[in-house]
């Protein structure tokens, strides 16, 4: 089967699945679709049937980079400043504390585990450990959205979870982007290799310049087709430039999404276009990520299983500590972190980005850990969110976008 026919079938199948199967499964069974496409990619890949060869996977690296960049832009589009300033500061305090604790704890514990299992120096172990920490920090909002939409109402915990997933994504992307800047392979085409700080500035500059330039093309444009072409051009240019320089496409495209949604007069149309294409690209990314899986490193099973346990315990503990430290434990409940266990597209994107990075240490262990975590958490993320949200929504009144309950507003 030709590579062109394979990608056509994959894209058509992903598009149909995104617009038919995803919504039906979510409503009927409270299951976030995605894990099955990851398994499909593994089955089609060289480790099982071989229908998609490693050469074919490598040939579609530009498509995967587009998917990575699109995920970054979708995350950046969540940060619309006028809406953010109406949210209570306490929600951001809890979310940021939880995200940083998750990143630091998982990175530290996994660094110690890698030093114990493999012949690594402490400096070398930091690289895969921080990559695993960034993957562990990411939390998917899809399971939370499925539950809140099925109930038809919102509450304080829902708003906290929405803020937490957005902050988790931003912290994970920034941490991973800085990691690739620090471990950047020095190019041979310049007399002096840029420092880690300069690489980080270059990555941020790609996003800022790309967002500023494409703001000129997108300002006031209302036609969906033209918006899609312009957005795709911006994301392809930024993600391609970042990938060519050995940087993460996620950070610059997140900045592009944030800049465009805050500076353009057609914010609603931009978010609509990003949302329409996100799910099909995510399914395509899952299939090719599954096909790219090659457990080449001996002894990968134990560190991957330990990562799953560490992430589970750390995420729950970090959420509890964050709520307790900020005085929100009574409002959120001790187990609110269970709704943050879902992983989703960003975890796959970070794992695949690390897998494709040149000379990445123990890339297959990090990649396998990310894929397996997504595979497991996608199956129960909506039900875990429901276990957290259903009791709280029955007891508490719904809230407005400013964090004030409708019942409280009646007395003003």
**Which of 39-43, 115-119, 316-320, 328-332 shows the lowest per-residue confidence on average (mean pLDDT)?**
39-43
Distances (CA, A) of 91 to 38, 84, 166, 258, 324: 33, 11, 11, 20, 13
Angle at 368 between CA 366 and CA 371, to 5 degrees: 110
Tell me which range, 105-119, 270-284, 391-405, is most confidently predicted by mean pLDDT.
105-119
Considering only CA atoms, which of 52, 48, 66 is closest in space to residue 3?
52
CB 66 within 8 A of CB 253: no
In-domain check, residue 169? yes
pLDDT band at 73 (very low <50, low <70, confident <90, very high): very high
Question: What is the pLDDT, as a whole number, of residue 171?
Answer: 96
Residue 374: CATH number of its domain = 1.20.1530.20
- The pLDDT assigned to 184 comes to 78
One-character DSSP codes across 124-193: HHHHHHHHHHHHHH---SHHHHHHHHHHT---HHHHHHHHHHHHHHHHHHHHHHHHHHHTPPPPSSSSSP
Distance of CA 216 to the CA centre of its chain: 28
What is the rounded average pLDDT of the residues 201-218? 85
- Dump pLDDT digits (tens) for 338-385: 989 988 889 999 999 998 887 788 888 999 999 889 888 877 777 777
**Which of 9-18, 62-71, 84-93 has the weakest average pLDDT?**
9-18
Q: How many CB atoms lie within 10 A of CB 265?
A: 12
For residue range 226-263, what is the model confidence (pLDDT) as tens digits? 788 888 888 888 998 998 888 999 999 999 999 988 88
How much is the average pLDDT of 16-36?
56
Instruction: Decide if pLDDT at 183 tops 50.
Output: yes
202, containing H or E segment: helix 196-218
d(CA 155, CA 386): 13
Residue 362 · residue 297 · CB < 8 Å: yes
- At residue 390, the pLDDT reads 73
Name the domain count of the chain: 1
Q: pTM for this structure?
A: 0.86
CA 147 to CA 382: how far, in whole Å? 6
Residue 410 domain-assigned (yes or no): no
Tell me the per-residue pLDDT of 303-315, one tens digit each, with 9 for 90 and over: 999 999 999 999 9
Residue 388 in domain = yes
Q: In which element (H, E) is residue 320 found?
A: helix 301-325
Query: Could you tell me the two tokens for 197?
Result: 């700080």
Residues 279-304 have pLDDT tens digits of: 778 878 888 888 888 776 667 889 99
Could you tell me if residue 239 is inside a domain?
yes
Indicate the burial class of 197 (C-beta count within 10 angstroms; 0-12, 13-18, 19 or more). exposed
Residue written as tokens 């969906």?
224
Is the model's pLDDT at 200 over the cut of 60? yes
Range of the domain at 71: 3-400
Does a structural domain hold residue 316? yes
The percent of residues in the chain predicted with pLDDT above 70, rounded, is 80
Rounded Cα gap, residues 165 and 98, in angstroms: 10
CA dihedral 271→275→281→282, nearest 10 degrees, is: 120
Residue 9 lies in a domain: yes
| CA-closest candidate to residue 204, choices 137, 253, 252 | 252
**pLDDT at 166 (0 to 100):** 93
Beta strands in 27-149 (DSSP E): none
pLDDT at 327 over 70: yes
Q: 167: closest CA among 75, 278, 272?
A: 75
Q: Identify the pLDDT of residue 299.
A: 75
* Per-residue buried b or exposed e for 358-373, using 16+ beta carbons within 10 Å of the residue's own CB: eebbbbbbbbbbbbbb
- Looking at residue 403, what is its pLDDT? 39
More confident residue, 15 or 286: 286
Q: For the chain, what is the mean pLDDT?
A: 81
Nearest CA among 313, 316, 378 for reference residue 345: 378
Q: Give Cα 149 to chain centroid, integer Å.
A: 21
pLDDT at 179: 93
Question: In Å, how far are 99, 111, 297, 361 from 121, measured between CA atoms?
Answer: 27, 10, 18, 12
- Residue 259 covered by a domain: yes
Residue 405 lies in a domain: no
């Amino acid at each position: 089967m030709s590579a062109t026919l394979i990608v056509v079938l994959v894209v058509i199948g992903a598009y149909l699945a995104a617009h038919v199967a995803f919504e039906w499964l979510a409503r009927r069974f409270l299951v976030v679709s995605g894990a099955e496409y990851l398994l499909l990619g593994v089955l089609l890949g060289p480790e099982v049937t071989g229908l998609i060869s490693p050469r074919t996977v490598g040939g579609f690296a530009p498509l995967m980079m587009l998917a990575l960049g699109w995920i970054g832009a979708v995350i950046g589009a969540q940060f619309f400043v006028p809406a953010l300033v109406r949210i209570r500061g306490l929600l951001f305090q809890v979310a940021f504390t939880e995200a940083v604790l998750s990143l630091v704890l998982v990175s530290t514990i996994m660094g110690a585990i890698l030093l114990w299992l493999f012949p690594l120096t402490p400096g070398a172990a930091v690289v895969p450990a921080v990559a695993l920490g960034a993957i562990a920090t990411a939390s998917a909002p899809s399971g939370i959205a499925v539950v809140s939409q099925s109930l038809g109402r919102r509450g304080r915990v829902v708003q906290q979870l929405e803020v937490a997933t957005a902050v988790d994504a931003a912290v994970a992307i920034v941490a991973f982007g800085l990691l690739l800047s620090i471990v950047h392979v020095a190019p041979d085409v310049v007399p002096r290799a840029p420092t880690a700080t300069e690489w980080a500035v270059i990555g941020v500059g790609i996003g800022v310049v790309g967002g500023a330039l494409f703001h000129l093309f997108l300002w006031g444009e209302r036609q969906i087709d033209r918006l899609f072409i312009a957005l795709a051009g911006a994301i392809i240019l930024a993600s391609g430039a970042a990938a060519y320089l050995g940087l993460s496409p996620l950070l610059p495209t997140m900045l592009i999404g944030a800049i465009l949604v805050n500076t353009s007069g057609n914010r609603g149309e931009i978010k609509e276009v990003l949302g329409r294409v996100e799910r099909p690209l995510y399914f395509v990314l899952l299939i090719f990520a599954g096909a790219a899986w090659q457990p080449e490193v001996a002894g990968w099973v134990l560190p991957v299983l330990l990562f799953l346990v560490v992430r589970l315990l750390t995420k729950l503990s970090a959420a509890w500590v964050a709520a307790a430290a900020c005085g929100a434990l009574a409002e959120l409940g001790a187990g609110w972190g269970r709704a943050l266990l879902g992983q989703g597209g960003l975890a796959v994107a970070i794992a695949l980005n690390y897998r494709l990075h040149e000379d990445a240490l123990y890339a297959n262990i990090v990649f396998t850990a990310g894929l397996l975590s997504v595979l497991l958490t996608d199956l129960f993320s909506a039900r875990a969110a429901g276990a957290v949200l259903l009791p709280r929504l029955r007891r508490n009144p719904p809230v407005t976008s400013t964090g004030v309950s409708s019942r409280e507003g009646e007395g003003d």
